[in-house]
Amino acid sequence: MLSADFMTIALYLTALGGGLLAGSISPALAYSRSILLGITLMHSVLAGALVGVYLGSATSLPLSPSIVAVLFAVTASIATAEAVNRGVPEDSAISAVVSIFVAISIIFTYLVATQVPLGVSKAMGYVFGLSSIVTLNDLLRILIALVIVVPLSHLFWYEYKFISFDPEGAEAMGLSVRFYRYLYYTLASVAATSLAMTLGVLLTHIVMTLPGLFSLRRKYIYPYRLSYLVSVAIVLGGYLLASPLNIPPSGGVGLLAAVTLTYLLGVRHER
């Protein structure tokens, strides 16, 4: 049995890791104008989690909802990337993919609610988050995602930025736009799934987009320093704020995110 002190440390380490993970992927989302991609990822993560919960209960297969959610998110991101590569406008591609995963979510929400013991509570846990009940598996999932996402996000930052603003020029210079777009969407899927399993689907979209938007507003050429600072402050600060307010940690994160968004929209920064 793990001690309460150790679980508290694991809770805040998970919060710190989640902040770093959000800060690593957020600049690419903001600078590539792919904020709507987050909506696609959140719907696919929810659909995958619900499918995983249902299949794990209805069959004898040892399926983990988080693994199924990752597979769904990667599938959604690759489908979106392929549609964009074939000339479909990104907003149209996202709308089509979202409609598919919304339908899957609706169907399996009904199946989980009617056929899985405690199915409603499990489904709502993925929507609103289980940030106050952090396990070692949650911490391990965040750490694995950090090892995958952070190095690749930094290594190919300028390529991501280049293909976002001038894909034709990138092709002319010999860059594989399709490869980098697939890679970027896959990294976003891994980050989104890892965060959603802890913070919940609703909050993860905000946490993934705000730091990058903040950095973009500041017009930094290399925005990661500010992105990490903002994301860690929102996530870790939200966990610390939740304790005296006696609310779930994800609620504290949501409050800080709302304050940050209000500041971002209401204050003009001079260059």
* Helix 136-155 / helix 4-31 crossing angle, nearest 10 deg: 30
Judged by DSSP in three states, 117 sits in coil
- Distance in angstroms (rounded) separating the CA atoms of residues 25 and 186: 11
Which long-range CB contacts under 8 A does 253-259 form with residues at least 24 apart? 253/131, 253/199, 253/203, 253/207, 254/203, 254/206, 257/203, 257/206, 257/207, 257/210
- Ranked by mean pLDDT, which of 139-143, 150-154, 198-202 comes out on top? 150-154
| Mean per-residue pLDDT, 209-234 | 81
Phi and psi, residue 223, nearest 5°: -90, 0
Segment 53-69 mean pLDDT: 79
Tens of pLDDT, residue by residue over 10-19, are: 778 888 888 8
What single letter denotes the amino acid at residue 127? Answer: V
Mean pLDDT for the chain? 80
Confidence of residue 151 (pLDDT cuts 50, 70, 90): very high
Taking only the tens place, the pLDDT of each residue in 74-122 is 888 888 878 877 888 877 888 888 889 889 988 988 888 888 777 666 6
| The predicted structure's pLDDT at residue 147 | 93
CA distance 101 to 72: 9
Q: Set out the domains of the chain in order of their start, with CATH numbers.
A: 4-266 (1.10.3470.10)
Task: Give the pLDDT of residue 131.
Answer: 57
pLDDT of residue 219: 65
At 103 the pLDDT is: 92
> Which tokens hold the place of 233?
């402050």
Least confident of 71-85, 136-150, 177-191, 216-230: 216-230
Q: What is the pLDDT of residue 152?
A: 92
pLDDT at 270: 47
Dist. CA 77–CA 83, nearest whole Å? 10
Going by pLDDT thresholds of 50, 70 and 90, the confidence category of residue 3 is: low
Higher-confidence residue of 230 and 118: namely 230
Lowest-confidence range among 56-65, 137-146, 262-271? 262-271
pTM, 2 dp:
0.80
Token output for 229: 């600072």
pLDDT at site 66: 77
| Separation between Cα atoms, residue 113 and residue 76, nearest integer Å | 24
Contact of 203 with 129, CB cutoff 8 Å: yes
Start-to-end C-alpha separation, the chain: 54
pLDDT at site 1: 47
pLDDT in tens, 7-44: 777 778 888 888 899 888 888 887 776 666 777 777 88
pLDDT at 266: 67
pLDDT of residue 42: 79
